[in-house]
């Protein structure tokens, strides 16, 4: 596993070395020759090799040039492996996958912790049809992704993730599973496509709206959106039509309420969503 830390040497890597955890991750991925697998942060290739042994193709990303060289040599025998050096956040992911004619697309990764938020958002917002995301993340980060009313207070990450996926915790991972041991515990999350997932337009509208509302999450929706629009009467009508109390905050809204708010909006409400309203 690769944690991007403040140290230049190796970016502060902590490598997964526990074979039981690795094997459980591979088992949960349920791979076949019809799958193309994306791995973000291949590290020393500890997880990459068993993925290659089961999947039809593996597309890896690694920012550390030393590890890129190591993994290329280590896995040279596998012809169904594409390794992209550089920053995953700056790579056109859809373009990397376009030429691979396999039926299912899965991401199985130990996410670099310092880019967990932008990496997850990239996976969620790219125009790629995922059949599975299986991601190891820091425990606190995982808790934020899982939190959603009525079970708990929502977060921006949980709202966006649950629009198109069912998310569940697969297992907990202790620091002893890595070399050297990090100071944090980890969890593995499984994202499976929802039967009632929203379309891409609604997804983008809710994402833009939630991003704004969670930027000042202590304020009520009416206060926030009324301030943004300058038209409190219109905002109040929208909120009430969506079955939402104007006193509620972003963290109080359930998945269905976010969707209703986006679907009720018209062209005149584009101020709420910016260019994502199109």
The residue ranges of every structural domain in the chain are 9-193, 200-277
Highest mean pLDDT among 26-35, 112-121, 150-159, 263-272: 26-35
Cβ atoms of 32 and 25 within 8 Å: the answer is no
Cβ atoms of 132 and 125 within 8 Å: the answer is no
**Cβ-based neighbour number of residue 180 at 10 Å:** 10
Q: What is the mean pLDDT of residues 46-54?
A: 98
Cβ atoms of 262 and 202 within 8 Å: the answer is yes
- pLDDT score at 55: 97
The string of pLDDT tens digits covering residues 148-166 is 998 889 999 999 999 999 9
Cβ atoms of 15 and 43 within 8 Å: the answer is yes
**What predicted TM-score, i.e. pTM, was given to this entire model?**
0.90
Confidence bin at 270 (pLDDT 50/70/90): low
183 versus 55: which is more confidently predicted?
A: 55
Q: What is the mean pLDDT of residues 41-50?
A: 96
104: Cα within 13 Å, side-chain hemisphere: 18
d(CA 170, CA 244): 33
Task: Identify which of 119, 240, 252, 110 has the alpha carbon closest to the alpha carbon of residue 177.
Answer: 110
> At a CB cut-off of 8 Å and minimum separation 6, what does 20 contact?
none
Query: 9-193, superfamily in CATH?
Result: Vaccinia Virus protein VP39 (3.40.50.150)
H-helix or E-strand spanning residue 108: strand 104-110
Burial of 5 (0-12, 13-18, 19+ CB in 10 A): middle
Domain 200-277 listed as CATH 1.10.8 = yes
Max alpha carbon distance in the chain (Å)?
A: 65
**Cβ-based neighbour number of residue 273 at 10 Å:** 19
d(CA 265, CA 219): 21
| Candidate from 90-99, 139-148, 227-236, 252-261 with smallest mean pLDDT | 227-236
CA 134 to chain centre: 9
- pLDDT score at 103: 85
Confidence bin at 269 (pLDDT 50/70/90): low
DSSP three-state, residue 86: coil
């Amino acid at each position: 596993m690769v944690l991007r830390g403040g140290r230049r040497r190796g970016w502060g890597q902590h490598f997964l070395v526990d074979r039981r955890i690795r094997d459980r991750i591979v088992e949960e991925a349920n791979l076949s020759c019809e799958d193309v697998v994306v791995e973000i942060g291949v590290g020393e290739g500890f997880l990459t090799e068993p993925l290659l042994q089961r999947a039809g193709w593996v597309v890896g990303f690694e920012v550390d040039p030393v590890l890129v060289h190591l993994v290329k040599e280590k896995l040279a025998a596998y012809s169904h492996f594409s390794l992209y050096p550089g920053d995953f956040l700056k790579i056109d992911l859809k373009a990397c996958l376009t030429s691979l004619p396999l039926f299912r697309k899965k991401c199985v990764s130990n996410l670099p912790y310092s880019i967990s938020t932008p990496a997850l958002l990239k996976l969620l917002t790219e125009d790629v049809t995922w059949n599975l995301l299986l991601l190891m993340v820091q425990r606190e980060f995982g808790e934020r992704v899982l939190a959603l009313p009525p079970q708990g207070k929502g977060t921006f990450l949980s709202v966006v993730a649950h629009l198109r996926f069912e998310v569940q915790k697969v297992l907990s991972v202790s620091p002893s599973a890595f070399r050297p041991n990090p100071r944090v515990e980890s969890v593995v999350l499984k994202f499976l496509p929802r039967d009632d997932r929203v379309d891409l337009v609604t997804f983008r509208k809710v994402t833009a709206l939630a991003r704004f509302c969670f930027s000042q999450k202590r304020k009520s929706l009416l206060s926030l959106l009324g301030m943004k629009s300058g038209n409190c009467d219109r905002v109040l009508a929208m909120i009430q039509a969506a079955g939402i109390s104007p006193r509620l905050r972003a963290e109080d809204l359930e998945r269905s309420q976010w969707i209703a708010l986006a679907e009720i909006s018209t062209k005149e409400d584009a101020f709420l969503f910016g260019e994502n309203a199109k």
